[in-house]
Amino acid sequence: MTKTKLIFIGLALALIGFLFAGSASAQDQTMTANPSVVPEAGTYDIEVSASGFTISSANFAVCSTGDTSVLDGAAGLMQYCGGFGDSVTLDSGSYSTTVEGVEVTEAGVTFLLFELTADNPEAAAASITIGEAELPATGVNTSLLVIIGTGIALAGVMVFGLSRRLRTL
């Protein structure tokens, strides 16, 4: 093989490797509530769990809205959550509890677990809404398969094209 063919094959393999590599990101905080959808307004016992925190304690608040966009800042916390909630201890960055007697209104409910600092605060939220439960997302991400397949096909075309000698008519 010539050096050019080896370079193109190496580049094709590197492209395929980049397609499979995930991007590095900071540890994300997540929170889930079970159930996340209730059939009607009323009082429910909700299981809440959170993970991905690097802190040992945080504030836990139950807010009277399912819209997390209105909870940005102290004014939203005071209006919808009644303050900054209660301080809780996290176990290796995780927290789980069952909140009993949660009053879910037509506006929904949001659970917040957050750190009261100005510098890179860690926070997570889980909302409860009223309606029918959604089916779980299953299957594969089709666009990712298309990208991977296209990369493999292009690498094959490149190798095939470089291995044949071009002939003139």
Instruction: Find the CATH number of the domain harbouring 74.
Output: 2.60.40.230
Which comes out higher in pLDDT, residue 154 or 121? Answer: 154
Q: What is the pLDDT of residues 12-51, one digit of tens each?
A: 666 666 666 554 444 588 888 888 888 888 888 889 888 8
Instruction: Based on the fold, state whether residues 110 and 156 are members of the same structural domain.
Output: no
> Is residue 4 domain-resident?
no
pTM for the full predicted model:
0.59
Tokens representing 47 are 């299981």
The one-letter amino acid code at 169 reads: L
11-15, 26-30, 72-76, 150-154, range with greatest mean pLDDT: 150-154
Q: Name the residue range of residue 82's domain.
A: 30-130
What pLDDT score was predicted for residue 169? 42
Q: Which residues contact 130 (CB under 8 A, 6 or more apart)?
A: 37, 38, 39, 40, 41, 104, 106, 108
Instruction: Based on the fold, state whether residues 79 and 126 are members of the same structural domain.
Output: yes
> Across the strands, what pairs with 113?
60, 124
What pLDDT score was predicted for residue 25? 42
Instruction: Based on the fold, state whether residues 121 and 58 are members of the same structural domain.
Output: yes
What pLDDT score was predicted for residue 76? 75
The backbone torsions φ and ψ at residue 137, rounded to the nearest 5 degrees and listed phi first, read -75, 120
d(CA 72, CA 32): 19
Instruction: Based on the fold, state whether residues 143 and 125 are members of the same structural domain.
Output: no
> Is residue 168 domain-resident?
no
How many domains is the chain partitioned into structurally? 2
Give me the mean pLDDT over the 91-104 stretch: 85
Instruction: Based on the fold, state whether residues 126 and 150 are members of the same structural domain.
Output: no
d(CA 117, CA 84): 12
Instruction: Based on the fold, state whether residues 70 and 150 are members of the same structural domain.
Output: no
| Res 148 pLDDT > 80 | yes
Q: Which residues contact 42 (CB under 8 A, 6 or more apart)?
A: 103, 104
